[in-house]
Structure 1
Amino acid sequence: MNPLNHVAIIMDGNGRWGLKKKNSRNAGHRAGLHSVEKIIKETIKQNIQYLTLFTFSTENWKRPKKEITYLLNLLENFLVDKIEDLHEQNIKLNIIGVKNFSKKLNSILNISEKKTSKNTKLQINLALNYGSKFELLNAFKNLNKNNEKISEKNLKKYLQTKNIPDPEILIRTGNTKRLSNFLLWQIAYTEIFFEKKLWPDFNENDYIKIIKSFKKIKRNFGSI
């Protein structure tokens, strides 16, 4: 049976769900938070150590300003409301990406990370203003700046996931089959599951089904 330490998720389909159900993309983003909470609980039940959630990409800045503002306010309010609960559950919050948000949101992110930094039950990596191409370019720039030899070992030191094991599973909801500039280096040998359901409809049973399927896969990593 395959060991499972890290699950990464592209939570796609919130906006489409909102338009379909409530005639509002923002309603879908709000509903998506309920799925986040369900998956966090199930991740703990499954004794998985790392959960990485693609929350806001570098490309998401292209969206309408009103939607961006709503998304970031939603994140801000979620952390203010839930950080104590996450802390009590022994959950560590870690941000990957570039924190160039408002002073208020940056402060909330920093406080949340600091408060939960010693927790050990589950590490949730929020990919915020994250893009894998930027991450890789930045890693190469640092190698060059520090006059280091280009090697896999040295490059990994400068990735934003440098202390995090690569995910064994990547799930993308929303019936879209692409990676969208997410963890391109880290998922070289990750098992990828594309789920038809939109993110707000994705539940614990869907998650468990994927985990069970993963555990039956013969993983060769290039060998026979």
Structure 2
Amino acid sequence: MGDQPQLNNNNKFIPDHVAVIMDGNGRWAEKMGEERKAGHQEGMEAIKRVSIRASERGVKVLTLYAFSTENWKRPPQEVKFLMQLPVNFFDRFVPELQENNIKVNMIGFKDKVPGPTKRSIEKAIDQTKNNTGMILNFAFNYGGRAEIVEATKSIVEKVISGELNKKAISEEVLQSELLTRSIQPYDEVDLLIRSSGEQRLSNFLLWQNAYSEFYFSKLFWPDFTGDVLDEALDDYQNRSRRYGAI
């Protein structure tokens, strides 16, 4: 049947914001008898498949956990390869993103990202800035705790300068200082997907996942297809979100 949209999928109650922890590239490669970088390479193909299907299904924002602030602890050669992946991805796939009216965005701390990687991401953002469809939001050099710390520092500075009264500090004020302010009003996650069978947040969108629904798949990320995304969306549609109420 291939990786084609299923005609019986129900596009009602599609989550506005889907976030994905793309886990298992290395283990996929080991299973295939390949080097870890082969898994990361195949993971790029999965990004393309899932992004296009998410756009077709009506998702407003797809946030992908591409590189965390903790990933710098990996072997230098692997980090170097991971820094090259955005360059390779956007060189190949921006035309398809354009065809599907997908807009690229990035959240994360750019200061430590190598120049070529940063420029590649910024170029893709500029090339797709006029697109009006789904936002493909890459969390690159991103960490949830660091995000909250930096937001807190910004609020403190505003209180000290007199720009903000401390009594006015609220959840909304803090939320407006988070990196995901760039994707408002869809900054809160509706559905979190994690591949590879692991079941933890790994410092990903800690604030934004407060009331999200979780979907865990045992498949490694390179094995993800549009049909697998459909399964997650269909599962989401059968849930009842109560936000603490009955």
Report the residue type matching 1:205 in the other structure: D
1:88, distance to aligned residue in structure 2 (A) = 3.3
2:14 & 2:228 partners in 1: Cα distance? 19
SS in 2 for 1:22: coil
Looking at structure 2, the residues matched to 22 and 41 of structure 1 have their Cα atoms a distance apart, in angstroms, of: 29
Using structure 1 for the length normalisation, give the TM-score: 0.96
- The match for 2:119 among 82, 89, 107 is 107
Displacement over 3 Å in runs of 4+? none
Alignment deviations for residues 12-60 of structure 1 (CA, whole Å, 9 cap, x no partner): 0000100110331111111111111110121112011110000000000
Is 2:106 aligned against 1:84?
no
Consecutive unaligned residues of structure 2, counting only runs of 5 or more, are 1-11
For the pair 1:139 / 2:151, whether they are aligned, the reply is yes
- After the TM superposition, which of the residue ranges 182-191 and 44-53 deviates more from structure 2? 44-53
* 8 Å Cα contact 2:23-2:221 kept in structure 1: yes
Counterpart in 2 of 1:216? 238
Calculate the TM-score normalised by the size of structure 2.
0.87
Tell me which residue corresponds to 1:7.
18
Kindly provide the amino acid, as one letter, of the partner of residue 132 in structure 1: G
C-alpha distance 22-74 of structure 1, shift in aligned 2 (>3 A): farther
Letter in 2 for 1:140: T
Further displaced range: 183-192 or 83-92:
83-92
Q: Give 1:153's match in structure 2, choosing from 169, 172, 176.
A: 172
Q: Which residue of 2 aligns with 1:19?
A: 30
Q: CA deviation at 1:3?
A: 4.4
Q: What count of residue pairs does the alignment treat as equivalent?
A: 224
Identity across the alignment (%): 38
Distance 1:98 1:50 in 2: 20
Residues 205 and 82 of structure 1, relative CA distance in 2, 3 Å threshold: closer
Q: CA RMSD in A?
A: 1.3
**Which shows bigger deviation, 31-40 or 130-139?**
31-40
- Quote the residue 1:185 is aligned against: 207
Q: 1:19 to 1:3 in 2, by over 3 A?
A: closer
Q: Which structure has the greater CA radius of gyration?
A: 2
Shift in Å at residue 137 of structure 1?
A: 0.3
- Aligned equivalents of 1:3, 1:198: Cα separation in 2: 24
